[in-house]
Chains A and B, each alone.
Chain A
Amino acid sequence: MGRATGVVFGGVVLLGWAAGSTGLSGCTGLIGGDGSGVTAPTPGPERKANCELDRAPIERLTPREYRNTLATLFPGVALPDEEPVPDERIGGFIGHHDGQSVSALGVRRYEELARTTGEAAAADLDAWAPCSEDAEACLQQITTVLAPRTYRRPLTEEEADDLSALASSAYAEFGMTDGVAVVVQALLESPWFLYRPQFGTGTVVTSGVAAGGVPLDAYEMASRLSYFFLDDMPDEELRAAAEAGALTRDADVEAQARRLLADPRARPVVTGFFAEWLRLYKLDDLGLDPQAFPEFDEQLRADLETSVRMFLERAIWEEDSWTELTRGSFGFVNDRLAPIFGVAPPGTDELVLVALDPGERKGVLTQPGLLASTSHGISHSPIFRGVTVLESIMCHKVPAPPPGILDDIEDTPIPDDVCTTRQQVALTHTVGNCQGCHRAIDGAGFTFERYDALGRYRLEENGCEVDPSGDFVGTLGAVADAIEMAEKLTESPDASACMVENMLGFALSRSAVRGDTCEVEALAETLLAAAEAGEDDSLQEMVVRVVLSPLFRHRPAPQS
């Protein structure tokens, strides 16, 4: 089954994160020796020792980056609607290099897109090309201008010669229009276009976080900045900076970072990071039984998602505050969402900003769209919620249940006096060694028990009072409910470090590695200190700091 992994048991989605037997290594890790089976990042002193550059795998353009780049290369041209084969999400993110598989279908799609784009571009030279007359000289000129933009760097002499030869032969053999199509297709199928190879330049750094690494060259840096902020190729200003060699200096990189951050095109990209970090995409797969939730339909799903995105946009771009992100009591509501938020309908289909009761909702994790994203079938799932929060907010690793555990769980009798989902889940996790993992999972998930499968606030379930107390083992500790959780989250070193770790991984198209830990902690401390002091805990500033990080600007030196 390719669907979400779960089993509904007695009204409870038990998706099987149960503790393993002694042979399940995933459940042997401890958080501070508390016996929980969920593993936290390596703590303190040992992490401090891990400050070094690690892997820098080759990155391929994501489908979004590919599409944007074509539009920039060929403005005004009617480009094909098709897209490259999608990447697989790794750790919640599109663009992770491990999710960029090589496949026959993918290669075929690249060929088709390059061919059809080449034909479309050749048919409309006036829209984008530096010349359009039927002459080999024009084709050579087009090639000379287009190739370095496509490769996002100057060409080597050998490459320039090869391309010139291709243009000459293509013109001679196929004429102007087909000749242009051939050149464009060849450029767009080149791995220098599809990938963003980075080799670095200069001398090996011998100390600090970047020790053992070499700086990216100016063109590599221009691409990294541009795709990080805009999902697109470098613009004229970045190219000019690269040509001037300016992107190897701190001040120049910072200036470009701030310029790009202010570009409206950066907004959906940066907001998109936070949405992926919080795994909002899970809402796409939400399947609720129409008989149990007759109000749920595609429109409501879309509203829920947009509402969360608008919350993020306000927290990032208007409030620009980690505190607002984690503690803000506001929401974006229309008439359809009003019953779910528990507020009066605003009298419009448009989502409008409303203040929420801070005793009921506080922070992005209490937004209905995120709460609903982990629901399943006919019920909310404390286990899904717990796993998602632990993995995405605390960067804990939660193991899968051992094979066969569900048989034992299903053999567990349910007494008649069991009323709430929490009671059922708690009961079933007395089986075997379940508590090894579920102490942490359930402790986090139960915190949200005052929200049903659609994220509606409630005090009772099945006529029984719900218990929203939880325990974030090894991190936030015991909390009375999601409101207290949100307050603790703002000041949590673990949560801020996890957000930074995810942002850094997003920027580098890879998962966090041990060598990142020094930098992650240093970055997180700045955010936390500002939040604690009630000062400028700027999320935008954190984005700039990530860009200025040596990890973003270096790669390991090639092995000799």
Chain B
Amino acid sequence: MAPRFNRRTVFKLLAASSAGAMLPWLRTRQAAANPEDVPLRMLVVEVGDGARRGTWEIDVPGPFDPTSLTVETTWSLRPVMSALAPHRGRMTLFQNLDMVSVRNDGSSAANAHIDGATHMATAASRFNGTGDLGGGVSFDQAIAAALNADTPLTRLRSLEVGAKEHGASISNEHYYALPGQKLPFINHVHDIWDHVFPEPLGQDQAEQQRLIARRTSVYNHVRADYQRLIARLGREDRDKIQAMLDLRAELQETLTLINDREANRPPESITDPFDDLDDKYQAGSDTNRRWNTKVDIISQIVAGALHTDTTRVCSYRIGNAPNYEFDYVAGTAYGGVVTSDWHDLNHKVSGDNPELEDPVAQGHIFDMHRLGYEKVAALLDLLAGLPETDGGTMLDHTMVVVISHIGEGSHEVTRLPWMVFGDAHGALRTGQYIRFPITHKDDINDVGALDYPQDAGQRQYNYRGRPHGDFFTTLATAMAVPQTIGEAQPETRGVIDEMLV
């Protein structure tokens, strides 16, 4: 179970985070002699819309051989990801990682984003043939469930948070506790804070005990009611209601924790503006600045949740800045049209050979994508600055997985700019650039709309690479809870051997 800790404000955390200043709750944790005694965590970070093809992939030396797997250890990040350079030695970056499962899904997605969104974390066909919902358990939830299978390891089995804009629907969340059961993320700073660091029970010890007794009375009755209902339900409904009860039990753990009464909740006057983001057209608004700050605050809370061992699995959606400096109306017209909508512009500046050659527009999109990786880098820096009880850092004990629901603005779900950081306590190789083989066009030609790269013999290939389910299966192995994740595809090979030590 998680240690009991003193609450500290997000702002104290912000102030303390640089260069690994000692955080108060560390005093409550037992020193660990060996790195293996420190828990291994998994942090899944979803950045906005990937990165434009051709801007991030590494030119592997030698002739282009699309049929062979290439592993490079001497390589450099390209400018759009340059913020990650200090952590290159810890990372593995992939080329031709591919949501193959999308193409084999028999249902029709509600829209092109949903195509990737429903498959991104599940690698499985959609739920009951619906166009909106994922049909598998997402890899983060599968791993969290396995970690906590026998007995709860941590107070929160997993944590799902996002820096999404206020008022948006849950359509942007792509993780599933059960098939068809989408996990709404917590998007508001205060909600996240309260979820991770429970409300204080009161200064007075007797009052604390009284409140705990009240909550226990309520919970015991509610639990019995749930159990009576569950006993009468069919399987589908039973799973859903059981999941409610499991979460209620988890909440009960939180509600009955005793902690001190430091009034450390971030003042609403400070945090509320960051919960009031909206991604509609907001000319002249300061939403970007507020989004930036909100991401920074949530990153701090995420780091705190992992550091206090409140959870060992966290899924964090950074998303896109709501309106990143896109005052493009004054820019060069494209097809007679100009736009101030970053969403449109992102679509237009996509692919290997975008029609829109305007360097200003391309610069906007480049900045947008780079900003996402800068946020990832800042999070890595934060983890690297938090000391662990074995003398290492949080980053040494966290596997950070960076994903996106599409590859880039074209809705493409091949050539995913995905990566993983950390060696997972020695399970993963690091510092690698892995380029997976792709398929000869004559063998599988189901992606007719794509451009076809050619080898030296002018033979054309599909960008149909390694199924991303294999990536998830490998991550589960690295987290010491081996299991196959996702539906089997013709290209499925199981764990990616090149990733594992």
Residues of A near any B CB (own CB < 8 A): 1-11, 15-16, 18, 21-26, 39, 57-58, 85-86, 88-90, 98, 101-108, 111, 114-115, 158-159, 162-163, 166, 169-170, 173-174, 178, 181-182, 185-186, 189-192, 195, 197, 199, 285, 287-291, 376-379, 397-408, 410-411, 414, 432-433, 511, 558-559
Residues of chain A within 8 A (CB-CB) of B348 are: 7-9, 410
Other-chain residue from A11, A103, A174, A402 in contact with B210 (beta carbon distance below 8 A): A174
- B181 pairs with A102, CB closer than 8 A: yes
Residues of chain B within 8 A (CB-CB) of A197 are: 229, 232-233, 237
Residues of chain A within 8 A (CB-CB) of B241 are: 58, 191, 195
Interface pick from B68-76, B85-93, B103-111, B392-400:
B103-111
- A404 pairs with B412, CB closer than 8 A: yes
Contact with A along B414-452 (1 / 0, CB 8 A): 100000000000000000000000000000001111110
Residues of chain A within 8 A (CB-CB) of B337 are: 8-11, 378-379
Question: How far is the CB of A294 from the nearest CB of chain B, in Å?
Answer: 11
Question: How far is the CB of B321 from the nearest CB of chain A, in Å?
Answer: 11
- A377 pairs with B344, CB closer than 8 A: yes
- A6 pairs with B344, CB closer than 8 A: yes
B341 within 8 A of A: yes
B251 within 8 A of A: yes
Residues of chain A within 8 A (CB-CB) of B130 are: 90, 98, 511
Other-chain residue from B102, B214, B226, B338 in contact with A191 (beta carbon distance below 8 A): B226
Task: Give residues of chain B (225-283) contacting chain A, Cβ–Cβ below 8 Å.
Answer: 225-226, 228-229, 232-234, 236-237, 240-241, 243-244, 247-248, 250-251, 255, 279-281, 283
Interface pick from B288-296, B299-307, B349-357, B466-474:
B349-357
Residues of chain B within 8 A (CB-CB) of A22 are: 446, 448
- A414 pairs with B446, CB closer than 8 A: no
- A105 pairs with B233, CB closer than 8 A: no
- A186 pairs with B164, CB closer than 8 A: no
Contact with A along B344-373 (1 / 0, CB 8 A): 101110111111100000000000000000
- Taken together as a complex, chains A and B put the C-alpha atoms of A295 and B351 apart, in Å, by 35
Residues of chain B within 8 A (CB-CB) of A185 are: 218
Other-chain residue from B224, B329, B341 in contact with A162 (beta carbon distance below 8 A): B224
B222 within 8 A of A: yes
Other-chain residue from A25, A88, A378 in contact with B106 (beta carbon distance below 8 A): A25
- A107 pairs with B247, CB closer than 8 A: yes
- B177 pairs with A8, CB closer than 8 A: no
B458 within 8 A of A: no
Residues of B near any A CB (own CB < 8 A): 48-49, 102-103, 105-115, 127-128, 130-133, 156, 160, 164, 168-172, 177-178, 180-186, 191, 194-195, 210, 213-214, 217-218, 221-222, 224-226, 228-229, 232-234, 236-237, 240-241, 243-244, 247-248, 250-251, 255, 279-281, 283, 319-320, 329, 334-341, 343-344, 346-348, 350-356, 410-414, 446-451
- A2 pairs with B171, CB closer than 8 A: yes
Residues of chain A within 8 A (CB-CB) of B350 are: 406-407
Question: How far is the CB of B434 from the nearest CB of chain A, in Å?
Answer: 22
Other-chain residue from A4, A57, A101 in contact with B236 (beta carbon distance below 8 A): A57
Other-chain residue from B156, B191, B214, B340 in contact with A174 (beta carbon distance below 8 A): B214
- A103 pairs with B229, CB closer than 8 A: no
Pull 22 A–B residue pairs with CB atoms less than 8 Å apart, ordered by A. A1-B49, A1-B320, A5-B111, A9-B348, A24-B103, A88-B132, A88-B170, A98-B130, A102-B177, A102-B247, A104-B156, A105-B186, A105-B191, A159-B225, A170-B214, A181-B214, A182-B218, A185-B218, A191-B226, A399-B109, A407-B410, A410-B356
Residues of chain B within 8 A (CB-CB) of A199 are: 232
- B447 pairs with A290, CB closer than 8 A: no
Question: How far is the CB of A434 from the nearest CB of chain B, in Å?
Answer: 10
- B233 pairs with A98, CB closer than 8 A: no
- Taken together as a complex, chains A and B put the C-alpha atoms of A359 and B461 apart, in Å, by 54
Other-chain residue from B131, B244, B347 in contact with A107 (beta carbon distance below 8 A): B244
- Taken together as a complex, chains A and B put the C-alpha atoms of A90 and B131 apart, in Å, by 9
B111, B247, B412 — most chain A CB neighbours (10 Å): B111
* Closest Cβ neighbor of B168 among chain A residues: A2
* Closest Cβ neighbor of B340 among chain A residues: A289
Residues of chain B within 8 A (CB-CB) of A410 are: 348, 351, 354-356
Residues of chain B within 8 A (CB-CB) of A103 are: 160, 177, 183-184, 247
Having A10-B335, A22-B446, A289-B340, one finds 4 other A-B pairs with CB under 8 Å, namely: A98-B130, A101-B183, A174-B214, A403-B447
- A9 pairs with B335, CB closer than 8 A: yes
Residues of chain B within 8 A (CB-CB) of A181 are: 214
* Closest Cβ neighbor of B177 among chain A residues: A102
Given A21-B447, A22-B446, A111-B255, A89:B169 Cβ within 8 A: yes
Given A5-B113, A10-B335, A159-B228, A406:B169 Cβ within 8 A: no
Residues of chain B within 8 A (CB-CB) of A11 are: 335-337
Residues of chain B within 8 A (CB-CB) of A166 are: 217, 221
- B217 pairs with A8, CB closer than 8 A: no
Residues of chain A within 8 A (CB-CB) of B355 are: 410-411
* Closest Cβ neighbor of B133 among chain A residues: A98
Residues of chain A within 8 A (CB-CB) of B340 are: 289, 291
Given A104-B250, A410-B354, A162:B243 Cβ within 8 A: no
* Closest Cβ neighbor of B351 among chain A residues: A407
- B217 pairs with A173, CB closer than 8 A: yes
Given A26-B107, A108-B251, A558-B234, A403:B341 Cβ within 8 A: no
Residues of chain B within 8 A (CB-CB) of A104 are: 156, 160, 186, 195, 247, 250-251
- Taken together as a complex, chains A and B put the C-alpha atoms of A199 and B229 apart, in Å, by 11
Residues of chain A within 8 A (CB-CB) of B210 are: 174
Other-chain residue from B48, B113, B240, B335 in contact with A58 (beta carbon distance below 8 A): B240
Residues of chain B within 8 A (CB-CB) of A402 are: 447-449
- Taken together as a complex, chains A and B put the C-alpha atoms of A378 and B234 apart, in Å, by 50
- B182 pairs with A88, CB closer than 8 A: yes
- B446 pairs with A23, CB closer than 8 A: yes
* Closest Cβ neighbor of B237 among chain A residues: A58
- Taken together as a complex, chains A and B put the C-alpha atoms of A3 and B448 apart, in Å, by 27
Residues of chain A within 8 A (CB-CB) of B195 are: 104-105, 108
* Closest Cβ neighbor of A108 among chain B residues: B251
- A8 pairs with B182, CB closer than 8 A: no
Residues of chain A within 8 A (CB-CB) of B280 are: 285, 287
Other-chain residue from B131, B172, B356, B449 in contact with A408 (beta carbon distance below 8 A): B449
- B218 pairs with A186, CB closer than 8 A: yes
* Closest Cβ neighbor of A38 among chain B residues: B108
